[in-house]
Amino acid sequence: MKFKAEMCLLLMAIALFAVSAFFYSYQAVSDGLTFGAGLGSYPYRVMALTFVGFGSALTLVASISFSKRSKNLGSNSRQV
């Protein structure tokens, strides 16, 4: 991958992490006072964990691509 594609993947991962942080902490407003922090009061928690998974995958792909490219650049400079 090219450098621009890797940076785009990393920026998308950062954006997904930011959105997932908001979704994870979002709490639905309820009429009554409840003392339990059940899944019903956090309706977007599953979506947030999905975004974190996609962001982690994008970060992994970008880092593997960068490490392969940096190995190729290092081996090319030694051959010259």
SS3 37: coil
CA distances from 23 to 4, 11, 17, 19, 49 (A): 28, 18, 10, 6, 9
pLDDT per position as a tens digit, 49-63: 999 999 999 999 999
- pTM score, whole prediction: 0.70
Q: What is the 3-state secondary structure (H, E, C) of 23-46?
A: HHHCCCCCCCCCCCCCHHHCCCHH
Q: Which residues, in sequence order, are CB contacts of 55 under 8 Å at separation 6+?
A: 12, 13, 14, 16, 17, 20
SS3 58: helix
pLDDT per position as a tens digit, 24-40: 888 776 655 555 555 56
Segments making up each domain of the chain, as ranges: 3-28+37-79
